[in-house]
Structure 1
Amino acid sequence: MLEHQIKNIELSLFANGTERKGEEEAWKVQPSDSAKNCRNFIREIVDNLDLEPNPEKPVIALSIGDPTVYGNLPQADETIKAVVKILEEGSCNGYAPSVGYEDSRRAVAEYLSHDGVEVDKKDVVLCSGCSSSLELCITALACANKKQNILIPRPGFPIYRTLAESIGVAVKYYNLLPEKDWEVDLYHLESQIDQYTAAIVLNNPSNPCGSVFSRKHLSDILELAYRRRIPVIADEIYEQLVFPGKKFASTASLHSQVPILICGGLAKRFLVPGWRLGWIVVHDEINAFQNIRKALVSLSQRTIGSNTLIQGALPAILRNTPQSFHDDLINTLRKHAEIAFEGLKQAKGMSPYMPEGTMYMVVEVQMNRFPKFTNGLDFVQKLMEEESVFLLPGDCFQIPGFMRIVLTVPENLLKEACSRICEFCNRNYV
């Protein structure tokens, strides 16, 4: 009994710090290398901006690639009903196989089987959004211990760099050519390949450029990848989201003999980014990905699969959403692109690039004609201060001197934003 009381006193003294050894040394737990290497490059840039809007003008944000923000682009009724039905049934509240329900994977395979492509459910892995799909693909193909790198587009979305560098994999950039509708500079791409290159990341249709590659250009890229024996990660989250006069071609439809991991999901085309339902399709005509298939299954087991509620609704969403819904969305985005293109052409020192699809437009700024601003970040900050309009600077996408605007805002706000941008440019242009 006495021994027990003494022990309690010792524990109490230690808890109060009176008998703690080395008390002068603070206890600091260090984060892992993966945590320290994980950086959100858009946030790093934006958070360093002193964004104070003009109090006399309501803020119009043309910066966030979330089509649901303003509520002007509703989901299809069929999409909502599919989720409600599964929720009421209560049939998808437990764990699913880590790669996804079989019926859901079959539905994705059917959805993506067109233009001469036949996808099998065994080729599909469901993930927690397209970002998760990309993470699994990069992790499966590239290894820090081997000093490997992946090639990513410039301009391009910074998530590729975030995902790679967080696991110690280096990134190298290949250029897109604005004078050729943002096609890949094939000579530069090949020059970036070295003995440590594990994959080429290909984003088509493109964020931020809004470009859509032709079958010929895709074929040229894949021919290079085949010749150099480099697998491809194809980010096709904007598949089919192309304007009239252009046609989307999946990398799988080229039958290039290149092993490809295709990433996609519901987020953009079905207007539900927060539902976090993405997929990977293993396209492998030469049976080069046997071990990669196993690796993807193993990696998917880390989170025990994606959202089962949305998985359960997935077959109905993909099969029942009418084409008219997709057509209406494309027509709206095309109209908004035309409004922004014509509106911003009136701004001195600005050159908009008409997109061919997606939800974005890239605008070049002649910074030498705006000597009051030291760089694009300063330009964006002053635009917010004077006109309460926020654009993402091209620095976020590795292209200083450009801006990206989002086309999903309501038409009246888009017109107002373009008018304010024009006033700002014409006022400050020298």
Structure 2
Amino acid sequence: MISLSIGDPTHYKNMLPPIEAEEAVTEAVQKPTSHGYVPSFGLEAARQAVAELWTKPNCQLKFDDIILTSGCSHALEMCINCLANPGDNILLPRPGFSLYVTLCKSLNIETRFYDLIPDKCWEVDLDHLQSMINEKTKAILINNPSNPCGAVYGKEHLCSIIDLCEKNCLPIIADEIYADMFELALLFVFLDAIKPGLLDLSSRILGPNSIIQAALPYILTQTPQSYFDEIITQIQMNAQFCYETLSSVPGLKPIMPSGAMYMLIGIDVTAFRDIESDTDLFKKLIDEESLSCLPASVFGISNYIRLVLTAPFEKTQEACMRIVEFCERHTNTI
């Protein structure tokens, strides 16, 4: 079985954490000061390290601008909880990461969806976004770079989104978890007006792991850029190979990603004699080719599949060959 469905870059052991992270965590475990309760919003040294990493010419960050959370999911939950009450709604991208819906539903917050445009590299359909706003809308979530699309928005498009939000007096929840997985400067905006609420919400749990916080300054300052460059190169090689190989397959339309570690491939079901949907394709690929890739219906859009681009190159090559052979067997014949 070749799995290109799980968004876990460590799955095939070719993208493991850097040795500097292992060293820092090992040292932190051995320090008595690394254990016990720490401030719910994070240790000052760890927050300072994050502030220095993400400070940009147009956005100077201080340690007290930073709140550490137990993963991005926890950060998203805090933002949603801070901005909306039960019965309010938040606008989410379609296609988009399914966890957004889970988090909103757990807080009794309605989800409304704005469309992304496949033929424009998954840019936001601004007219549709505007049409989805009503009096109960409290925030707009923007995922950039995108899961599952691999889209990266340029400055002009980001400014258009910001202008629309300013016009409607709506804050942006910016999910930029893949912000360093492409070569493009982003416009970062810190929403200082909601910081007091986020600080209060951080105390609902006792903060992220104290050992990792103690190790964080060393990890962020000592991990060489070559480690990240190598990962980006692997992902780009896989993306290019998938795009070039699958673009020539009748019935498939891959969309070249610009960031993150995913690719969406459109499916023209009319080109196949016995494929009814993305879910049908997903099931038959597993049964016939021992290949797993997610149907994009789980992300809110039909007749696409998502490939994860972090497998070793030879695994990616083999996976593409299996897709080609599968499509040749199932393509409509004249």
Name the TM-score class by shorter chain.
over 0.9
1:216 aligned residue (139, 156, 174)? 156
Structure 1 residue 396: Cα displacement: 0.8
- Match for residue 394 of structure 1? 296
Structure 1 residue 337: Cα displacement: 0.7
For residues 58-108 of structure 1, the C-alpha deviation after alignment (integer angstroms, 9 at most, x for no partner) is x00100001011101122221221111111223211111000101111111
Q: Which amino acid aligns with 1:109?
A: A
SS of 1:348 mapped into structure 2: coil
The question of whether the paired residues in 2 share the 8 Å contact of 1:373 and 1:379 is answered with: yes
Q: Does residue 16 of structure 2 align to residue 74 of structure 1?
A: yes
2:191 aligned residue (265, 283, 286)? 283
- Match for residue 153 of structure 1? 93
Structure 1 residue 328: Cα displacement: 1.3
- Match for residue 108 of structure 2? 168
- Match for residue 425 of structure 1? 327
- Match for residue 319 of structure 1? 221
TM-aligned CA distance change 1:251 to 1:175, over 3 Å = farther
For residues 328-354 of structure 1, the C-alpha deviation after alignment (integer angstroms, 9 at most, x for no partner) is 111111111111112222322111111
Q: Give the unaligned 5+ runs of structure 2.
A: none
SS of 2:165 mapped into structure 1: helix
- Match for residue 347 of structure 1? 249
Structure 1 residue 222: Cα displacement: 0.2
Q: Does residue 214 of structure 2 align to residue 306 of structure 1?
A: no
2:188 aligned residue (226, 247, 251)? 251
SS of 2:81 mapped into structure 1: helix
- Match for residue 49 of structure 2? 107
Structure 1 residue 116: Cα displacement: 2.1
Structure 1 residue 249: Cα displacement: 0.5
The question of whether the paired residues in 2 share the 8 Å contact of 1:207 and 1:358 is answered with: yes
TM-aligned CA distance change 1:248 to 1:64, over 3 Å = farther
SS of 1:420 mapped into structure 2: helix
- Match for residue 240 of structure 1? 180
1:135 aligned residue (77, 91, 96)? 77
- Match for residue 121 of structure 1? 63
- Match for residue 190 of structure 1? 130
Structure 1 residue 114: Cα displacement: 1.6
- Match for residue 310 of structure 2? 408
Count residues in correspondence: 332
SS of 1:95 mapped into structure 2: coil
Q: How does 1:7-26 map to 2 (within 5 A)?
A: none
Q: Following the alignment from structure 1 to structure 2, what is the Cα–Cα distance between the partners of residues 220 and 115?
A: 21
Q: Following the alignment from structure 1 to structure 2, what is the Cα–Cα distance between the partners of residues 90 and 383?
A: 51
Q: Following the alignment from structure 2 to structure 1, what is the Cα–Cα distance between the partners of residues 199 and 51?
A: 17
- Match for residue 45 of structure 1? none
Q: Following the alignment from structure 1 to structure 2, what is the Cα–Cα distance between the partners of residues 165 and 74?
A: 34
Structure 1 residue 247: Cα displacement: 0.6
SS of 2:297 mapped into structure 1: helix
The question of whether the paired residues in 2 share the 8 Å contact of 1:346 and 1:422 is answered with: no
Q: Following the alignment from structure 1 to structure 2, what is the Cα–Cα distance between the partners of residues 415 and 380?
A: 18
Q: Which amino acid aligns with 2:221?
A: R
- Match for residue 61 of structure 1? 3
- Match for residue 330 of structure 1? 232
Q: Which amino acid aligns with 2:301?
A: I
- The ranges of structure 1 where at least 4 consecutive aligned residues each deviate by more than 6 angstroms after the TM superposition are none
Structure 1 residue 188: Cα displacement: 0.7
- RMSD of equivalent CA atoms: 1.1
TM-score if structure 1 supplies the norm length? 0.76
The question of whether the paired residues in 2 share the 8 Å contact of 1:341 and 1:354 is answered with: yes
Structure 1 residue 363: Cα displacement: 0.3
- Match for residue 376 of structure 1? 278
Structure 1 residue 314: Cα displacement: 0.8
Q: Following the alignment from structure 2 to structure 1, what is the Cα–Cα distance between the partners of residues 266 and 283?
A: 16
Q: Does residue 141 of structure 2 align to residue 201 of structure 1?
A: yes
Q: Give the unaligned 5+ runs of structure 1.
A: 1-58, 253-281
SS of 1:126 mapped into structure 2: coil
For residues 45-69 of structure 1, the C-alpha deviation after alignment (integer angstroms, 9 at most, x for no partner) is xxxxxxxxxxxxxx00100001011
TM-score if structure 2 supplies the norm length? 0.97
User: Alignment identity in percent?
Assistant: 42
Q: Following the alignment from structure 1 to structure 2, what is the Cα–Cα distance between the partners of residues 321 and 305?
A: 24
Q: How does 1:88-103 map to 2 (within 5 A)?
A: 88-103=30-45
